[in-house]
Structure 1
Amino acid sequence: MSRPAAPAGAESATKPSAGRVEVRSIDYVPLAERHGKAWHLGPVWIMATATVASVAIGLIGVAAGANLFWSLAGIVLGSLFGTFFSAFHSAQGPQLGLPQMVQSRPQFGYRGAVLVWVFVLISYIGYNVFAGALGGDTLQNVVGGSSKAWAPVVVGAALLLAVFGYDSIHRLSRWLLALFLVAYAFFSVAAITTFDLPDGALDPGRFSWLPFLLQFAVSAGYLISWAPYVSDYSRYLPPDVGVRSTFLWTYLGMALSSIWLLSLGALIAQAFTDLGPIETIRTAGDAIFPGFGATALLVALPGLIIVIALNLYGASLTLLAIVDSFKPVRPTARVRLTAVLSVSVVGLALQYALPPDFLTAIGTFLVFLLYFFGPWTAINLVDFFVVRKGHYSIREIFNPHGMYGRWSRPGLAAYLIGFAASVPFQSTAIYTGPIAKALDGIDVAHFVGIAASGIAYWFLTRSLDLEAERDRIAEADLGLEDLAKAHANPNDSPQ
């Protein structure tokens, strides 16, 4: 695997640290600025899923008619499946030192990647609409007042964290981890030993395909939805942490915490029916002992703030990458902060239009994310691990006239093939394809889209002259680490 080097834009370099505004955005992180350990990824992804949103997603299968046994099966299998893709994307970060979306240019082209980035930007904002509403609902339930009035407070706290950036997100996740683990370990054990379950809740004979696959799909979609930006939070790690360690720490943190909290949601949904996600957690906690419900909600609130911060941070990078594809962006702290503020304002405005049927809305949203992200993740991973095997020119990724072209036909064609192949299999409240109808509404579109796009991309790239490409990479990136050091300007921070 070739060692990456800095593209144009390295002049904004400075090593980030907690308590200091991060300067870098879509530009390459030089080796001299790399720091941290692979295990630091575990707390980030535990806290990213340590939210009432995770518990709420665990309610969906039960709400759709599955019993606890099959809801848990859908949660476990969906989480293990979805995390597989996100963890492999995380492993790309230390090797390339670039944000996740910028890494898509070799597969889709300098401008072609924008077609995917638009969907990603929508997903960031969409998730923040849901997360911000949950944060507002949490404070309304515990403190009083209006959810709409609390939403700007929650988003404002996340905005501050996103402004400080990478290191502050990592360190805050580690600081908060112990509190969350203690509180929710107690919650989980008490729920298992205290709550009475309805007859047949654990009966494997009570199986229904539709709610099982719905829970599988939303669980997998929830975790695949992290794929477009997981390496944003691993790109400062030194490349010698290795692909395996980066993968494992991301996988374990994300998968185990998701399985745990989604399963907790399914358990309390069986015991307390016909309630919204916040009310379910509050009621379940108070059933253990009075007042614990409010404590459980407040302990999970920092996780929501971290999630919103992750989305704001990633959305700002994606927005800058989109702009950069049409007009080159000099990556500075001021430019990044402008992008962070812009996406936070848009997301906050949309919160006031949140549909009243929260569970249906988030279920449909997550399933559609899987439709759009499935083809992209397959193409990106096949290119990195199978076709080019990690060999990319960092400088050429930032060159609109470079070796990857403005529009890459193999990537774009494979994406359209994968998405088109999935359409007949799609089944949501908005649209149901003909094959899904024939299967009584069973949705296997995610499998079809991922498989079709991955196979199509591998087939369409067989003619690539990879030896010639690697020679060009070596020539293009020669001496760029030294250039990054020479152009470093630590005074570019707005502090």
Structure 2
Amino acid sequence: MMWFGANIIIPSFASGILGPALFKLSLYESFVTIIFGTLLGIIPVAAIACFGPASGLRTMVYSRYSWGYYGASIMSVINIIVSLGWAAINSITGAQTLRVVFNDSIPMVVGIVIISIISMIVSFVGYKWLHIYERYSWIPIFIAYCILAGVGAKYFTSSKMVSVNATTLNNNSRRAQISRILSFGATCFSISSSWCTCAADYNTYFSEDTSQLKIFVLTYIGNFLPMALLQLLGAAAYTGTYTNQDWNHAYEINSVGGLLGASLSSLRVFGKFLLVLFALSTIGNNILNIYSLSLSAQVIGPIFKRIPRFFYTVVGTIIYILLAIVAANKFNDSLISLLSLTSYWSVVFVVIVIEEHLLFRRYSFKNYNFDIWNNRKSLSIGIAAILSGLVGAVGIALGMTQTWFTGPIANAIAGDSGEQGADVGLELVFVFTAVSFPLFRSIELYFIRK
């Protein structure tokens, strides 16, 4: 149930909106892409979650057995950056929704600060109460989304040719359509796989003989259901902007928060109450990000371990408030960039961790010595993992599609379709990393023997 609280949030809803809004897909195309992208993306999350009880170690600490002591430090820094990015996105969507509640009378900055400060305060309660909060906080928010679906369904449409601003979409190019589907599929994979770099953090206190199958299945279901359902609802809700001028105007003014407000406007005061619930839902995700951020910071090195976790929580909150203020004006671009960064590096991370476990530890936790988790001399240096990560980065550069850069292979797939490119960075980084790591790791073991 903890995963429900972490994933029934506005950014999940907002990610579904990107299908029809940014990638210009039909409702059915968006639905199919969301389902398959989410089904695939949660596999690494559920797999990494299984390592927590068996090892008793947090995700970044466990990664020392594959990435090495210094490689894990690099991964921890990247994980901190990603956690700050997600916290900023959560705060932006919460602030957008609060603005709608107060009829745009409060500035975005104030809304961002309110959401962030509440998240920080709640994050101080500790591991036990964090689990309790996540276990129950999602229930009223889920009910609120069900009400939104019921109230707004009459405006949803499966036709992408209907638009209140008289704009029609040219879908004659099959290549252009494939490019958009691939790019949106990468986005769906990104949001669903984003927890894989910290999935073991929240079940390390479970008994080490806890069924791994049970952990995998519960983690998978706990992530898939809320993510997929909210993304589907987001895609459907956006089509209401094609048929309802008020919805379209609200989305243009306050983005996702505006669309939520317009969808519930007929409920008047009760609708405002539901919007408050939506805004506060981001807290459930934020506190997990900040919790994992503080854990990752202590993995960087001995000096960082001596600093209390609450210090990282406070400093992290200040940083992501500033990030949110800067990114708020370009929300969709900010969300896409963050999702891409998350997915690219998480694929590199999880491929190396899982290949180490399957190929070199022979799928058995008995082949680990968990007593040396903090011993730099006994752990591997991490040369193989770092080199494989660099090879994976080449795959990213060849296949990525971002507003600021498009790789040559992504360009080649899009061709003359008029699309910026087809994002195949995920596929390429997976292949490049999966092929190179066994080779580099075998060489590392032969010469260094650890």
Q: Does 1:127 align with 2:86?
A: yes
Q: How does 1:34-53 map to 2 (within 5 A)?
A: 43-53=1-11
Aligned residue number for residue 37 of structure 2: 78
Instruction: Identify if the C-alpha distance between structure 1 residues 200 and 272 changes in structure 2 by more than 3 Å, giving closer, same or farther.
Output: closer
What letter corresponds to residue 213 of structure 1 in structure 2?
Answer: L
Aligned residue number for residue 394 of structure 2: 420
- The RMSD of aligned alpha carbons is 2.4
Aligned residue number for residue 399 of structure 1: 375
Q: Shift of the alpha carbon at 1:209?
A: 1.8
Q: Does 1:223 align with 2:192?
A: yes
What letter corresponds to residue 370 of structure 2 in structure 1?
Answer: I
Structure 2 counterpart of 1:247, from 198, 216, 234 = 216
CA distance in 2, matches of 1:463, 1:431: 34
Q: TM-score normalized by structure 2?
A: 0.86
Q: Shift of the alpha carbon at 1:444?
A: 1.2
Kept in 1, the 8 Å contact 2:49–2:199? The answer is yes
Aligned residue number for residue 294 of structure 1: 272
Q: How does 1:299-314 map to 2 (within 5 A)?
A: 299-314=277-292
Aligned residue number for residue 453 of structure 1: 433
* Count of aligned pairs between the two proteins: 416
Specify the SS of the correspondent of 2:305: coil
What letter corresponds to residue 188 of structure 1 in structure 2?
Answer: A
Structure 2 unmatched runs, 5+: 163-170, 243-247, 415-420
Instruction: Identify if the C-alpha distance between structure 1 residues 392 and 342 changes in structure 2 by more than 3 Å, giving closer, same or farther.
Output: farther
TM-superposition CA deviations, 1:133-191 (whole Å, max 9, x none): 22222222213422211322211221122222221121012222322232222333444
Kept in 1, the 8 Å contact 2:97–2:261? The answer is no
Q: How does 1:23-422 map to 2 (within 5 A)?
A: 43-63=1-21, 64-143=23-102, 144-192=105-153, 194-197=154-157, 199=159, 208-272=177-241, 274=248, 275=251, 276-287=255-266, 289-291=267-269, 293-324=271-302, 327=303, 329-330=305-306, 335-388=308-361, 389=363, 390=365, 391-402=367-378, 404-405=379-380, 407-422=381-396
CA distance in 2, matches of 1:431, 1:463: 34
Q: Shift of the alpha carbon at 1:95?
A: 1.0
Structure 1 unmatched runs, 5+: 1-42, 473-495
Specify the SS of the correspondent of 2:436: helix
Specify the SS of the correspondent of 2:377: coil
Query: Which structure carries more helix by proportion?
Result: 2
CA distance in 1, matches of 2:272, 2:37: 29
Q: Shift of the alpha carbon at 1:463?
A: 6.2
CA distance in 2, matches of 1:216, 1:457: 26
Q: Shift of the alpha carbon at 1:49?
A: 1.2
Q: Shift of the alpha carbon at 1:426?
A: 1.1
What letter corresponds to residue 311 of structure 1 in structure 2?
Answer: N
Instruction: Identify if the C-alpha distance between structure 1 residues 329 and 369 changes in structure 2 by more than 3 Å, giving closer, same or farther.
Output: closer
Kept in 1, the 8 Å contact 2:384–2:437? The answer is yes
Q: Shift of the alpha carbon at 1:453?
A: 1.0
CA distance in 2, matches of 1:352, 1:92: 36
What letter corresponds to residue 408 of structure 2 in structure 1?
Answer: P
Tell me whether 81-90 or 181-190 shows the greater mean CA deviation. 181-190
The alignment-based identity, stated in percent, is 21
Specify the SS of the correspondent of 2:38: helix
CA distance in 1, matches of 2:99, 2:151: 25
Aligned residue number for residue 486 of structure 1: none
Instruction: Identify if the C-alpha distance between structure 1 residues 165 and 455 changes in structure 2 by more than 3 Å, giving closer, same or farther.
Output: farther
Q: Shift of the alpha carbon at 1:357?
A: 1.9
Kept in 2, the 8 Å contact 1:286–1:292? The answer is no
What letter corresponds to residue 72 of structure 1 in structure 2?
Answer: F
Instruction: Identify if the C-alpha distance between structure 1 residues 347 and 70 changes in structure 2 by more than 3 Å, giving closer, same or farther.
Output: same
Q: Shift of the alpha carbon at 1:437?
A: 0.8
Runs of 4+ in structure 1 over 6 Å off: 463-466
Kept in 1, the 8 Å contact 2:152–2:237? The answer is yes
TM-superposition CA deviations, 1:431-455 (whole Å, max 9, x none): 1011111111111110111232123
Kept in 2, the 8 Å contact 1:58–1:263? The answer is yes
Q: Shift of the alpha carbon at 1:264?
A: 0.4
Q: Shift of the alpha carbon at 1:94?
A: 0.9
What letter corresponds to residue 285 of structure 1 in structure 2?
Answer: L
Kept in 2, the 8 Å contact 1:47–1:173? The answer is yes
Specify the SS of the correspondent of 2:63: helix
Q: Shift of the alpha carbon at 1:292?
A: 5.1
Q: Shift of the alpha carbon at 1:291?
A: 4.3
Specify the SS of the correspondent of 1:66: coil
Specify the SS of the correspondent of 2:335: helix
Aligned residue number for residue 417 of structure 2: none
What letter corresponds to residue 297 of structure 2 in structure 1?
Answer: L
Kept in 2, the 8 Å contact 1:272–1:284? The answer is no
What letter corresponds to residue 370 of structure 1 in structure 2?
Answer: S
Q: Shift of the alpha carbon at 1:462?
A: 4.0
Specify the SS of the correspondent of 1:432: coil
CA distance in 2, matches of 1:399, 1:428: 40
Kept in 2, the 8 Å contact 1:285–1:291? The answer is no
CA distance in 1, matches of 2:342, 2:296: 16
What letter corresponds to residue 387 of structure 2 in structure 1?
Answer: A
